[in-house]
A and B are shown apart, each in its own frame.
Chain A
Amino acid sequence: MSVLAHLPAETPAQQTRRGHSRLLPYLLLLPGGLWLTVFFAVPAVQLAATSLYDPSGSLQEGYAMTWEFGNYADALSAYWPHFVRSLVYAGIATLLCLLLGYPLAYAIAQKATRFKNLMLVCVIAPFFTSFLVRTLAWKTILSDNGFVVGLLRDVGILGSDGRLLATSVAVVLGLTYNFLPFMVLPLYASLDRLDGRLLEAANDLYASPVRAFAKVTLPLSMPGVVAGTLLTFIPAAGDYINAELLGTPNQYMIGNVIDSAFLVRLDYPQAAALSFILMAIILAMVFVYVRRAGTDEVL
């Protein structure tokens, strides 16, 4: 039935529901949609407005809407190093996640056979201990008198007073660790769907293992790579916990700045402008990246 397969086939359930009420899908969407609208979309619009308020106001006295586009310029000129640092840290962490996550996802999907479920559980389980507890554990692992630093000093990678904690390395390592499962799970999902016989066919057609990987496995797992990099990069770019716990103010990312602008300095217009710049940068990168990667199946 090749012709019919491409037509919009409807299940009888759909037909009746349509017959009974065209309103049903809207009723189903209403509670969730309303929740997202009121508590996500409206605040986002309000945030956009806040970012254009006159910064000389305060929470107590109220703000005046003066279409202050200067807020954006001020925010950028004051904090552009933090933006750059956030994007660089998140970029490196995402790349590391991809390099670490791909072999793991591939091993689970194609090699693990009866250990598949066990290995999947092992990927997820560590993440039920709290995010903060895990990150603090890294503080122990990387501490100056810990085993890792000792080893690196002995083999001469670190100088005799070299450190890991409170450096960019520690922050990137923490980001990589904390967002690795967000990379592994989508990669696993797309590699699991990969038919092993395709690789046999590629080998049969004179492709070396490396070429078979480059020409068959990698292109077919692209939706997973795209989804995984987005799910890793987005939270990593906005994170500030790793920079706070594993770094010093010299490693602060834009998240730290926004957090303190909102909660410590109470400079709402600037905090809002910073938030919007971050969101705009991330969304722009997402769209360019999805376009370039040539897949719309992000979700």
Chain B
Amino acid sequence: MSIITPAIGPALAGGALIGLVCGTMWLVHGRISGIAGIARLALQGPDRVWRLWFLAGLFAAGLIARLAWPHDLAPGYASLGWLQLIVAGALVGTGTALANGCTSGHGICGLSRLSSRSLVAVVTFMAVAAITASILAALA
């Protein structure tokens, strides 16, 4: 259809790939594809091996994009300051550990499981993130 803007197709297709992994990992292996949880348990165990391989796959995707794609698929990194990155990382790590889930764990797996906890988490972190980003954009 000609109505859709060029970015909606890739957004839907990329989202479908993410959903395919989340749904298949649960249906086939009984595993939740939440990246914060996978990263935490890759560090602490149990079952570190498959989690490290999953994270290696994420990194490999970035490597393929870097080598095969003619332009930078993440240009936004260039406009982030070091302190901004460090503080954001600490908040994201601590917050997702406390809440036991991130954008993928609560946002895709949790909502797909019809979890009310995940719905509360998603509404909360989306609202707080939008307010935070909007205030920073207004100050910039």
Query: Are A and B a genuine interacting pair, yes or no?
Result: no
Please report B residues at the A interface, Cβ cutoff 8 Å: none
